[in-house]
Structure 1
Amino acid sequence: MTRNTATSYLLPVDDTALAVTDTGGSGTPVIYLNGSYADTKHWRHVIAELGPEFRHITFDERARGKSKKSADYSFEACLRDIDAVLEATGVRRAIIVGWSYGALLAVHWADRNPDRVIGVVSVDGAMPYGLTGEEGREQIRKLFRRMRFLMPVARPLGLAARMSADQHAEINIEANELHAALAPLLERASHPVRYVLATGSNLGGSEEVMAAVRASLDPVLEHNPRIVVSARVPSNHSHLLRKDFRAVAEAVRASAAADDQQVKTVG
């Protein structure tokens, strides 16, 4: 098989420009959605594992990685960015793979565009649990204010965006409220959603809290057979894409194989 040749470019969207990379080729398209403050390099092991049988599309969100800043970092803006990237690449249907915040984006975008989704792979994200109310909002704001001096160090590692601590916090607050209201969306999903779940603690979440977050998915699994846990892996949330990338790749392969089987059955 001929190896795909990747192209990278800046895609103008609204008041910003997104750094997009597309490997091209005729394989099943996969679009990767990053964590809240991450960039595309976190996907490199998954992409290498899957290889040229797939068409890999990655992009940095606003003020992350090589993308430009914006006046709008809202969840809706992030959803518009997915639309823009898929339009620019000419992709009609794709496997949507998201990690953390990217998983939340993936299930929301799929809910709005069910006819364009081959399958969703949620990497330790998109679970119906979140801090809500003013007390929860203030807890998040305090956390990011304490972390503000670490952000310049975290940015080169893909762990922070080119935003203020308050902007980081507002993204997190919005995401928590969307997570808390997620159960009905997952229960009505008409497309396959495969979860790869980590174990242990997370930055800002103890082992006990993260166990409760992941357990919040259990009722949804009982109600909707299209939603399954593809794998539970030993690494934690932050290290999953580096240490257990094969489990993510396997979930992508399973999504593509299920779609192929459905096409053959219908045909």
Structure 2
Amino acid sequence: MATPDPTDATNSTWTGMVVVEDTALAVTDTGGPGVPVVYLNGSYADQSSWKRVIADLGPGFRHITFDERARGKSKRSADYSFEACVRDVDAVLAARGVQRPILVGWSYGALVAVHWADRNLDRAVGVVSADGAQPYGLTDEEGRERIRALFGKMRFFMPLLRPLGLAARMSADQHAEINIELNDLCAALAPVLERVSCPVRYVLATGANLGSTEEEMEAVRSSLDPVLARNPNLRVSAKVASNHSKILSKDFQAVAQAVRDTAAGRDQQGWSSR
């Protein structure tokens, strides 16, 4: 398939592969002159997670989704690190000719979004976090072993979970190492959140999630309170009834509204459509 001109802001959807380093990422770009919104998936999810949010927002926005390395239709890689995920955002934006996006992330994707925004202060219009990017993590050896044990138990089910966007084409050990790195980065996230200068809007879930109790998840979410108090750019847009896993399927309207609010602020600042 020939790659079209990424600066062609037509309403024609482009689907293709973006080559980056030793892999290729499956990307979908709806095109059009609307505000560009880049969606960043959960740790092992694929771009299908966003279909309800995208449908709710409609064609007035330019929607760009992609599968991370070894997720969805993307190819495998020798590097599944967090830094590789941040570099992949740069690669997709460059390939599609987007300069100033709104980043919308779920879980792991929200962490990628705030780190990218912190490193690209002149480009990030805003971040919407769907129950992610919270400064709390399991960092002791007990927590690490708990994560490894959880994915060890799941290893036989991963082939069944992959078509549902709940597992990647990786080993159980690789799944666990991604989660361990995620916890370390979240535990160290407070300084990033305190200095980020673009709007960051949180949509927080409630209740327990796989491998965690309700009390643990509430501790994760309450870890936001100190940074919310210190940085006025951070705000909770909504706290919804669904849990972490179901937030994009059950409370997609709240996520979409946070995107609209972020875009409205962008228009007031006079950002260009790219």
TM-score (norm 1): 0.96
Distance 1:49 1:220 in 2: 30
Match in the other structure for 2:142:
135
Q: What is the letter of the counterpart of residue 117 of structure 1?
A: A
The answer to whether the aligner puts 1:87 opposite 2:94 as a matched pair is yes
TM-superposition CA deviations, 1:81-140 (whole Å, max 9, x none) = 000000000000000000000000000011101111110000000000000022221221
Distance 1:233 1:134 in 2: 32
User: 4+ runs of 1 displaced by more than 3 Å?
Assistant: none
Q: What is the letter of the counterpart of residue 132 of structure 1?
A: T
Equivalent of residue 190 in structure 1, options 197, 203, 220 = 197
Q: What is the letter of the counterpart of residue 176 of structure 2?
A: A
Equivalent of residue 75 in structure 1, options 58, 71, 82 = 82
Distance 2:255 2:11 in 1: 21
- 1:142 Cα deviation from its structure 2 partner: 1.2
TM-score (norm 2): 0.94
Match in the other structure for 2:220:
213
Q: What is the letter of the counterpart of residue 112 of structure 1?
A: R
TM-superposition CA deviations, 1:127-168 (whole Å, max 9, x none) = 000000222212211111111111111111000000000000
Greater helix fraction, Structure 1 or Structure 2: 1
Aligned 1:133-172 pairs, distance under 5 A: 133-172=140-179
Distance 1:238 1:38 in 2: 11
Equivalent of residue 63 in structure 1, options 70, 83, 86 = 70
Match in the other structure for 2:35:
28
Secondary structure of the 2:135 match is: coil
Q: What is the letter of the counterpart of residue 59 of structure 1?
A: F
Match in the other structure for 1:234:
241
Give the length in aligned residue pairs.
263
Alignment identity in percent? 73
Secondary structure of the 2:157 match is: helix
Question: Which one is further off, 141-150 or 62-71?
Answer: 141-150
The answer to whether the aligner puts 1:6 opposite 2:5 as a matched pair is no
Q: What is the letter of the counterpart of residue 230 of structure 1?
A: S
The answer to whether the aligner puts 1:177 opposite 2:203 as a matched pair is no
Structure 2 stretches lacking a partner, 5+ long? 1-9
Distance 1:142 1:243 in 2: 29
TM-superposition CA deviations, 1:37-76 (whole Å, max 9, x none) = 0000010000011111100000000000000001100001
- 1:4 Cα deviation from its structure 2 partner: 2.6
Secondary structure of the 1:195 match is: strand
Match in the other structure for 1:44:
51
- 1:261 Cα deviation from its structure 2 partner: 1.1
Distance 2:261 2:268 in 1: 10
Match in the other structure for 1:19:
26
Structure 1 stretches lacking a partner, 5+ long? none
Secondary structure of the 1:114 match is: coil
Distance 1:67 1:183 in 2: 32
Distance 2:269 2:33 in 1: 19
Q: What is the letter of the counterpart of residue 231 of structure 1?
A: A
Distance 1:162 1:99 in 2: 20
Secondary structure of the 2:98 match is: coil
Distance 1:49 1:182 in 2: 31
